[in-house]
Structure 1
Amino acid sequence: MVAEFSILYVTFPNIEMGRKIAHELLEKRLASFINLIPSMMTIYHEEKDNKIKQQHLNEQDEQIDAEILMMAKIRSTLAKNILEMVDRLHPYDLPEMYTVPIDQMNSTLRKYLDDNLANNI
């Protein structure tokens, strides 16, 4: 049985882009309870120069290559379409985004999500 709701995880290069896409999802009622978590360290393999990259601090203690993580609660049946929409809006060539099913949640939140999320796109 497929979980009724999932968590959509997406990374963004900055808070402005995260907010923009979060608002787009909220306005269309495709997501709810969106969390934007700032200053996440990302370590990844970059294809073009075959090196491992990671966030670091420069001499002024400013974060370089820090990312934002968005966690949004969505209806599982709409996950494929939501991922396609976010992919079109995302500035990265290879955005990191995926969903994780929610197996359990409290009944108050379940009712809120069911009442407030769209049933189709």
Structure 2
Amino acid sequence: MAAEFSILYVTFPNMELGRKIAHELLEKRLASFINLIPSMMTMYQANNKIKQNNETEQIDSEILMMAKIRSALASNILELVDRLHPYDLPEMYTVRVGVSCIDQMNGTLRQYLDGNLAKNI
């Protein structure tokens, strides 16, 4: 049985853009309980070299968005966020909330998500 809900993870270059896309998802009822976590540090390779902001750092400061979504809409939500995102290769993925986790989810939260998330796009 597939999980009914997932958590969407997306990184952004700044809080302004994170908030803009979060509002878009909320307005369309595609996400709920969105967390924007500031000052996350990201390391990665670009063109087979570690990306460097300056001579001493090998990191980017980013914002992390965590949003609760309906699993059945994950592909469409990822496509929407990809269109709105400024990066050529945005880091974004979903993690299903497994059946064993759903069994442990607060019943009130489950009812809220089910009643407030869109069932289709």
Superposition TM-score, scaled by structure 2 size: 0.88
- Correspondence for 1:61: none
- Correspondence for 2:96: 101
In 2, the alpha carbon distance for the partners of 1:32 and 1:25 equals 8
- The percentage of counterpart residues that share the same residue type is 81
Matches within 5 A, 1:66-81: 66-81=61-76
- Correspondence for 2:116: 116
Question: Which runs of 5 or more residues in structure 1 are unaligned?
Answer: 59-63
Matched, 1:13 2:8: no
Q: How far has the Cα of 1:53 moved from its partner?
A: 2.6
Q: How far has the Cα of 1:108 moved from its partner?
A: 1.1
Aligned length: 113
Higher helix share: 2
Q: How far has the Cα of 1:65 moved from its partner?
A: 2.6
Q: How far has the Cα of 1:52 moved from its partner?
A: 1.3
- 2:49 equivalent among 48, 51, 63: 51
**What code does the residue aligned with 1:92 have?**
Y
Question: Which runs of 5 or more residues in structure 2 are unaligned?
Answer: none
Q: How far has the Cα of 1:54 moved from its partner?
A: 5.9
1:63-88 Cα shifts (integer Å, max 9, x gaps): x7300000000000000000000000
CA-atom RMSD in angstroms:
1.6
